[in-house]
Amino acid sequence: MTSTRGRVAALLGTVAVVAGTTLATPAAATPDPGRRGGGVAGQAPCQGAPEYVCGTVDVPLDHSGATPGTLTLDVAMTGNADAPKGDLLFLTGGPGQPGVPFLGRLSTKLAPLLKDYRIVVYDQRGTGRHALDCPGLQQDMGSSDLAVPSRRSVADCAATLGPNARYYSTADTVEDIDVLRRDLGDKRLTIDGVSYGSFVAERYALAHPAHVNALVLDSVVPQQGYDPLDLVALPATARVLGAACRATGCTTDPAADLAATVRRYGNGAQILDALTSYEFADPNYGGVAEYLHEAAAGKPEKLRAFIDDVHTNDAAPAEALSQGLHAATLCADGVYPWGTADTPVEGRAADLAQTRAELAADPELTWPYDAATATGLGSLLVCEDWPRMPVPPAPPEHRKLPNVPVLLLGGDRDLSTPYEWLYREAASAHDPTIVIVPGAAHSVQNRAANPAGRQAVFDFLLA
């Protein structure tokens, strides 16, 4: 296996703009605010990639103004500032991924758009060279969403971030984007978001509907947020592995074998974690059906080696995917069995145990996994012990997206954001265009071998 199997590849792969590229030192010249993008400070050719323009935007730590301080966010743009349709803001995933290192890959993958759009990326607060760094949590989780960290790592991270952790929610990122929009000189943005980036795009559109031209939502997280129990991804595994099995000509029933394996070894959370990392390397999940079949028959050695190999290759530094930011954002945003981040820590374990018992009483909700899988995922357990903090306001659950063109893309092999989520979000759009790409896993535009998703984006945005 290679490192591309880790979730550091969850959005765009591990290709940076140019190997070794960093932001250029701010230029001495003062930006021209009358030029599109002129409000972005320190504009200069990106080091190692002079065809792109790099700069920075300053945003308040606390957009309410109650707590002083500013954060500097790195920005990168293609050089076509006079693009006739304006700026296309591309939002990366995680939460925890930067955006700037991926402009080169993006501009190659989306090259037909450059005649009409300037592509803009930025590093979300707490990512990239300004990443929130929690070494223990980073070592435990690497680039995984679901790996289970030690309680010590979670406690150390929370202590490192301190009370300012509350300022790394999606609501804060949404307001950062509006600062960026103003500094870019745009009345409206066209936004293309992948995975967590799709969620940010939706939340921005709900908060600032007058400032959105169109939305491309790829590998969709619905605007209500992700489900920490993964009650969509768990049953979707049967569909996804079945499709992969048919495509590769396997003769077993991987869903039934998975269910038998989980019953026998109680390792559902580890299997789901491995599968949602492995999809980035192989949307056909090659070998998985065999490993599950043997494990179900009492020979788990190949499955255990597979899980260990994937976990080893999930390693990633904070600047590639910040687990500190990941924890702070998910814990601020999420709705858990115990409630939200303002629920007292002391009662959370009992609420989680009650949820486990309720799920165990209705095993169809989690099949081919079990209740222990749903309540034993790392993204949930990180927040069980996360310190109590205020919760940012969220839009009403059933509020519609603004009446702008919306394209939703999904892959039929995606376990990270199963296409069932896409259809849920489509119900919030006025007249959505939906494209499901056969054989594609997560991040359709940038990783799918099938070009149908990218072509759908070109047709949609160039119409």
Local structure of 64: helix, strand or coil: coil
Q: Which candidate, 116, 119, 109, 154, places its Cα nearest to that of 135?
A: 154
Residue 35: per-residue pLDDT: 56
Q: How far apart are CA 408 and CA 352, in angstroms?
A: 33
CA 277, 283, 287: angle at the middle one, nearest 5?
80
Q: What is the pLDDT of residues 345-381, one digit of tens each?
A: 999 999 999 999 999 999 999 999 999 999 999 999 9
- The Cα-based distances of 355 to 27, 332, 352 in angstroms read 55, 21, 5
Cα-based torsion angle of the residue sequence 13, 14, 20, 21 in order, rounded to the nearest 10 degrees: 20
Percent helix / strand / coil, the chain, rounded to 5:
45, 15, 40
Residue 180: per-residue pLDDT: 98
pTM over 0.85: yes
With a cut of 70, which residues of the chain have pLDDT below it? 1-37
Q: In the Cβ-directed half-sphere of 454, how many Cα atoms lie within 13 Å?
A: 15
Q: What is the pLDDT of residues 167-212, one digit of tens each?
A: 999 999 999 999 999 999 999 999 999 999 999 999 999 999 999 9
Q: Which amino acid is at 212?
A: V
Residue 401: per-residue pLDDT: 98
Cα-based torsion angle of the residue sequence 403, 406, 412, 416 in order, rounded to the nearest 10 degrees: -80
DSSP calls for 102-158 = GHHHHHHHTGGGGGT-EEEEE--TT-GGG----HHHHHHHTT-SSPPPPHHHHHHHH
**Structure tokens that stand for 208 in this block:** 């600032």
Q: How far apart are CA 335 and CA 358, in angstroms?
A: 17
Residue 9: per-residue pLDDT: 39
Strand runs labelled E in 300-445: 406-411, 433-437
Cβ atoms of 144 and 277 closer than 8 Å:
yes
Residue 38: per-residue pLDDT: 74
Residue 34: per-residue pLDDT: 52
Cβ atoms of 393 and 349 closer than 8 Å:
no
Q: How far apart are CA 459 and CA 445, in angstroms?
A: 13
